[in-house]
Structure 1
Amino acid sequence: MKHTRFEFSPIANRKPVKLPNEARVALWVIPNLEHFHFDQPSTSIYGGTAGLKPDILNYSWRDYGVRVGVWRMMEMMKKYNIKGTAALNSEVCAEYPEIIQAGKELEWEWMGHGTTNSKLITSIEEAEERRLIKDVLDTIEESTGTRPKGWLGPALTETINTPDLLREEGIEYLADWVNDDQPYPMNVRNGEPLYSIPYSIEVNDITSFLSFGHTPEQFYQMLVDQFDVLYEEGKTNGRVMSICLHPFLIGHPFRSKYLEKAFSYITSHEGVWLATGSEIVDYFKTAHEKDVIDQMAT
């Protein structure tokens, strides 16, 4: 099956992107704020108990993130003037209102992230998915005072209809498609602009620690190396660097120490734009939309 969401557009053929204030890299940090159900399996550190009901080991390991890890992350990001774009399960709003209040005080952006990461968005009918998306956005708006402009599916899951339904509900950017270093427009059936924004499945603590088996030191080096290359390329064509984080992983002290080292390194450079998802997409649409649409159409 061939999708029709966008045309192939090699970055080497695009008109160079100029970021605000002559920045080379837009740094986009995404804390995933998630709620997990006690009796359902999800991300696990130990497979031996992952199928049990209840699975106390893995459930309580994930629960560390909302009880401790996210608070350590918030202090660290505040120290380096980094405003998070939180990928927010809507159930977090009722389960952990203290996190919502703290994020509001830090002026974080809120990005829809489904209801819970115990339930993926797949194999559901269009009408049901439409209701789910609306409920998520309504809940987040009621809790935070702001309706999300962005969306990240739980585990980056979608149906064939998801981008269309998201745009119908006012979503302006989508982070599920991990295939670029710059935003680009996607085709949706109502013809309104929906932008893909660079998210990463590799510059991501889930895959780094649980799939690749990296140490915290290796994760730090990966962040530094990713930044160094994008920073050099950004001299002539601006790039977006996403850092995708989960408080139940990176929020542990022995890991967070190395995230802070990476933040210190990155923010010590000139020409780094500390941005939220909406700021990146709004600027990109204003400054480069015509260039991008023309290039995507060729």
Structure 2
Amino acid sequence: MTNTPLTDTVENRLFPYSPITERPRIDWPGGARIAAYIGLNVEHFLIDRPSTSIWQGTADLVPDALNYGWRDYGSRVGVWRTIDSLDRHGIRASVLLNSAVAHHNPQIIEAGLSRNWAWLAHGRTNSILQAGMSLDEERRFLTDVVDTIAAATGRRPRGWMGPGLTETFHTPSLLAELGLGYLLDWTNDDQPYPLNVPGMISVPYSVELNDLLLFGKGVTGPEFVQIVKDQYEQLRADSQDSGRVMALALHPFVIGQPFRARYLDQALAYLAAQPDIWLTTSDEIAAHYRRTVTPGRPAA
């Protein structure tokens, strides 16, 4: 077999390479070394489309009672158990919100409004991805998503995460047109960083410290708690010269299962007890980064 040179490669023009050792210094409020947030996925799924599945054997059936029911548990039961845990530890969620939830599950939005959650746009439904949309199709799609969330929550979202972390090459600039200032889709860093689209930054999210991926690989509850601790402790060690971000991604149909509730409680209790943590929202992390980090400021 011969290797044929690639002649039509696409360059990454969304963001430049920036080693974490060569950045402006980040100082979080109150001298905290870690800015942490809970990314709570509040999603809607279509009954006649395949999506995230616990067992692929029925994923192509219509209806797929097994997998649809598993996902639907999150909005019917799991999210309320997760809310109780967040409340016990005084933690505001950063909610990755499918706009269809405004119509199908308005009680969840009411609960979040009473708790001053941060609302991020997360597409219309996690059964439909925007990859492959034309520019005009995506502009209409994003406008509808943002306007729907703004009407339901009383404020326009500031941040974005695509369903399944999907984008097109136009997504950041279209979001900037709509007044959004950051996105979570590029899980490639422990700090915020500027994108090449003016006014748009990336804020860290995690596909590793993520209940859907961890428990899907067979991680146990006690192991999950230890992983959260290990993530925090390593990021704290890394933060001697500049602050870091820790994102804990949760899905109510996963973490909201009864046998996992105590382990989420333990993980949140651990985070809430740390003296060097700023337990906040992704909105506040993005805003603080914009206010305080300027090009050319030394890293140490």
TM-score (norm 2): 0.94
Show the 5 A alignment for 1:116-135.
116-135=125-144
| SS of alignment partner, residue 95 of structure 2 | strand
Q: Distance in 2 between matches of 1:255 and 1:48?
A: 25
Q: Distance in 2 between matches of 1:290 and 1:13?
A: 11
The residue aligned with 2:266 is 261
| SS of alignment partner, residue 206 of structure 1 | helix
Superposed CA deviations along residues 57-87 of structure 1, whole A, max 9, x for unmatched, are 1111111100111011111111111111100
The residue aligned with 2:30 is 21
252-261 or 122-131: which moved more? 252-261
Show the 5 A alignment for 1:5-20.
5-20=14-29
The residue aligned with 2:213 is 207
The residue aligned with 1:165 is 174
The residue aligned with 2:145 is 136
Q: Distance in 1 between matches of 2:193 and 2:241?
A: 18
Q: Distance in 2 between matches of 1:256 and 1:16?
A: 37
Show the 5 A alignment for 1:134-283.
134-188=143-197, 192-210=198-216, 212-283=217-288
Q: Distance in 2 between matches of 1:262 and 1:21?
A: 22
The residue aligned with 1:43 is 52
Is 1:70 aligned with 2:87? no
The residue aligned with 2:68 is 59
| SS of alignment partner, residue 294 of structure 2 | helix
Superposed CA deviations along residues 148-171 of structure 1, whole A, max 9, x for unmatched, are 000000000011111111111111
**What is the CA RMSD across the aligned residues, in angstroms?**
1.3
Q: Is the 8 A contact 2:24 2:295 kept in 1?
A: no
| SS of alignment partner, residue 107 of structure 1 | coil
Between structures 1 and 2, the one with greater helix share = 1
Amino acid at match of 1:237: S
| SS of alignment partner, residue 167 of structure 1 | helix
| SS of alignment partner, residue 248 of structure 2 | strand
77-86 or 12-21: which moved more? 12-21
Superposed CA deviations along residues 141-191 of structure 1, whole A, max 9, x for unmatched, are 101101000000000001111111111111100000001111000012xxx
- Structure 1: which 5+ residue stretches go unaligned? none
Deviation at 1:39, TM superposition (A): 0.9
Deviation at 1:29, TM superposition (A): 0.6
Identity of counterpart residues, as a percentage?
46
Deviation at 1:291, TM superposition (A): 3.9
Amino acid at match of 1:8: Y
1:291/1:262 Cα in 2 relative to 1: closer, same or farther (>3 Å)? farther
Superposed CA deviations along residues 176-230 of structure 1, whole A, max 9, x for unmatched, are 0001111000012xxx3101000001001111112x2212222221111001111
Amino acid at match of 1:107: N
Q: Distance in 1 between matches of 2:295 and 2:25?
A: 13
Q: Distance in 2 between matches of 1:283 and 1:291?
A: 17
Deviation at 1:256, TM superposition (A): 2.2
The residue aligned with 2:3 is none
Deviation at 1:16, TM superposition (A): 2.6
Amino acid at match of 1:206: L
Q: Distance in 1 between matches of 2:259 and 2:239?
A: 32
TM-score (norm 1): 0.94
Q: Is the 8 A contact 2:24 2:294 kept in 1?
A: no
Q: Distance in 1 between matches of 2:51 and 2:222?
A: 26
Task: Name the count of aligned residue pairs.
Answer: 290
Q: Is the 8 A contact 2:25 2:293 kept in 1?
A: no
| SS of alignment partner, residue 259 of structure 2 | helix
Which of 96, 104, 117 is matched with 2:113 structurally?
104
61-70 or 260-269: which moved more? 260-269
